[in-house]
């Protein structure tokens, strides 16, 4: 897939690209009053608003529909901001294009459906309108990549991914867990793909948004999409996660933008030395894992001889607790240690299962 960088979509772009506007278009006055204040913030280039709102249950506010697209046009005419909205089907695409929406995005609930994404991609053929694709609700990187591939397959190369967090069912301070490793892995696979963070849907509450914005910048994401409302307390949807234009300005002003490379040669040399230390430690870790794997193979052989199943839940739980406790004593977080040993345990079970299965097949 070929992706155009954001500065090819938007001239004179500074990092981060900021997209702001209410969760939902509610009224003409709400849209214009919010946009006028947002337009005073130099870093904001795009105004967002939900026209159709996919709600979990019926009889909730599901958006104003096509009338809201006219309000978006008025926002663009008065403020000069580009406009973007979510589309979930062919009809949405046709209406958005008819009303001159500049950028479209595909929401998390649509991304999970390859049929829906393909219909949208087919409707977009021949347009090359920029499209942003939110990660699916569940933590499925392949599904996210598949949606990007379908849009790219329609001939569009102005594509961005939006990281809005994942629903996991775990109790957390976040509405949707950020699971930063997933967008980072996406970026490693497609280095030219712009990734924009949606801190509003990750945070779920406005007092966390500044923190998530900074984490996104630290992860080298190119932009932010922040839900912004002239009076968030009166918003008809997702009131708790919207900020005022004034608060948005303060959040942007407070960001610390770090660069990948420094201009100080002495600093670069010091960094190279530290990276060399990391390389040596990584080699030691890999050599230790190889040694551990050889021991696991011996355990597998012993279990095979005694006809013991490879997976022993109680033993695994006990081992995990001990490793987490040891990690805490060493200053490592429980989540970090658990993620590592979940992977190590999975590989250990795979190796032992293969040994047992090979033995069974030879009987």
HEC profile of 209-243: HHHHHHHHHHCCCCEEEEEECCCHHHCCCCHHHCE
Looking only at the bridges linking them, the beta strands covering 131-134 and 82-86 are: unpaired
Share of the chain above pLDDT 70, in %: 91
Same domain, 226 and 84: yes
Same domain, 156 and 35: yes
Same domain, 342 and 275: yes
* DSSP state, residue 196: E
Same domain, 196 and 279: no
Neighbours of 199 (CB within 10 A): 29
* Structural domain for 343, as ranges: 265-361
Q: Which candidate, 116, 242, 103, places its Cα nearest to that of 162?
A: 103
Same domain, 28 and 127: yes
| Contact indicator for 285, 291 with CB cutoff of 8 Å | no
Same domain, 180 and 279: no
What is the torsional sign of CA 185, 188, 193, 195?
Answer: positive
pLDDT band at 299 (very low <50, low <70, confident <90, very high): confident
Question: How many structural domains are present in the chain?
Answer: 2
| Separation between Cα atoms, residue 163 and residue 217, nearest integer Å | 12
List CB contacts of 352: < 8 A, sequence separation 6 or more: 296, 299, 300, 303, 310, 311
* DSSP state, residue 50: B
b/e code 47-67 from CB counts within 10 Å (16+ = b): bbbbbbbeeeeeeeeebbeee
15-24, 202-211, 235-244, 260-269: segment of lowest average pLDDT: 260-269
Same domain, 249 and 336: no
Q: Calculate the CA 77 to chain-centre distance.
A: 31
| Contact indicator for 204, 241 with CB cutoff of 8 Å | yes
Q: Which of 187, 218, 253 is a domain's end point? A: 253
Same domain, 47 and 143: yes
- The answer to whether residue 258 sits within a structural domain is no
| Contact indicator for 182, 149 with CB cutoff of 8 Å | no
Share of the chain above pLDDT 90, in %: 63
Q: What's the CATH number where 164 sits?
A: 3.20.20.70
pLDDT tens digit sequence for 260-278: 545 565 776 777 778 878 8
pLDDT band at 55 (very low <50, low <70, confident <90, very high): low
Tell me the helix, strand and coil percentages in the chain, rounded to 5.
Answer: 55, 10, 35
Same domain, 212 and 326: no
pLDDT tens digit sequence for 153-184: 999 999 999 999 999 877 789 999 999 999 99
Same domain, 223 and 313: no
pLDDT tens digit sequence for 67-121: 999 999 999 999 999 999 999 999 999 999 999 999 999 999 999 999 999 999 9
| Separation between Cα atoms, residue 197 and residue 164, nearest integer Å | 6
- The answer to whether residue 259 sits within a structural domain is no
Specify the DSSP element, H or E, that contains 322.
helix 313-329
pLDDT above 90 for 22: yes
DSSP assignment string, 57-98: STTS----THHHHHHHHHHHHHH--EEEEE--SHHHHHHHHH
Cα angle for residues 56, 57, 63 (degrees, 5° grid): 80
Helix (H, G, I), strand (E, B) or coil at 324: helix
Q: Which of 198, 224, 253 is a domain's end point? A: 253
Same domain, 235 and 352: no
Cis peptide preceding 225, ω within 30 of 0: no
pLDDT band at 360 (very low <50, low <70, confident <90, very high): low
The overall average pLDDT reported for the chain is 89
Helix (H, G, I), strand (E, B) or coil at 307: coil
| Contact indicator for 86, 58 with CB cutoff of 8 Å | no
| Contact indicator for 32, 74 with CB cutoff of 8 Å | yes
| Separation between Cα atoms, residue 229 and residue 322, nearest integer Å | 48
């Amino acid at each position: 897939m070929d992706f155009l960088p954001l500065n090819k979509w938007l001239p004179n772009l500074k990092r981060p690209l900021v997209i702001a506007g209410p969760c939902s278009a509610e009224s003409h006055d709400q849209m214009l009053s919010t946009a006028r204040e947002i337009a005073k913030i130099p870093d904001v280039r795009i105004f967002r608003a939900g026209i159709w709102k996919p709600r979990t249950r019926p009889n909730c506010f599901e958006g104003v529909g096509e009338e809201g697209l006219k309000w978006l046009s008025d926002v663009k005419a008065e403020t000069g901001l580009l406009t973007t909205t979510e589309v979930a089907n062919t009809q949405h695409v046709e209406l958005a294009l008819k009303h001159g929406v500049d950028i479209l995005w595909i929401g998390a609930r649509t991304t999970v459906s390859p049929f829906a994404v393909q219909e949208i991609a087919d409707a977009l053929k021949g347009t090359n309108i920029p499209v942003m694709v939110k990660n699916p609700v569940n933590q499925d990187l392949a599904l996210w990549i598949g949606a990007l591939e379908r849009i790219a397959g329609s001939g569009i190369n102005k594509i961005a991914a939006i990281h809005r967090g994942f629903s996991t069912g775990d109790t957390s301070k976040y509405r949707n867990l950020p699971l930063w490793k997933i967008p980072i892995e996406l970026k490693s696979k497609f280095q030219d793909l712009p990734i924009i963070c949606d801190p509003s849907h990750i945070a779920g509450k406005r007092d966390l948004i500044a923190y998530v914005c900074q984490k996104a910048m630290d992860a080298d994401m190119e932009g932010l999409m922040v839900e912004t409302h002239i009076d968030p307390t009166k918003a008809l949807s997702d009131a708790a996660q919207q900020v005022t234009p004034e608060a948005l300005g303060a959040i942007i002003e407070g960001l610390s933008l770090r660069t990948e490379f420094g201009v100080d040669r002495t600093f670069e040399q010091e960094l190279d030395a530290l990276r060399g230390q990391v390389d040596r430690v990584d080699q030691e870790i890999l050599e230790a894992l190889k040694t551990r794997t050889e021991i696991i193979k011996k355990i597998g052989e012993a279990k095979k001889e005694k006809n013991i199943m490879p997976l022993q839940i109680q033993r695994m739980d006990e081992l995990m607790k001990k490793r987490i406790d040891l990690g805490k004593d060493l200053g490592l977080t429980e989540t970090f240690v658990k993620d590592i040993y979940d992977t190590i345990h999975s590989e250990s079970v795979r190796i032992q299962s293969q040994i047992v299965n090979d033995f069974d097949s030879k009987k």
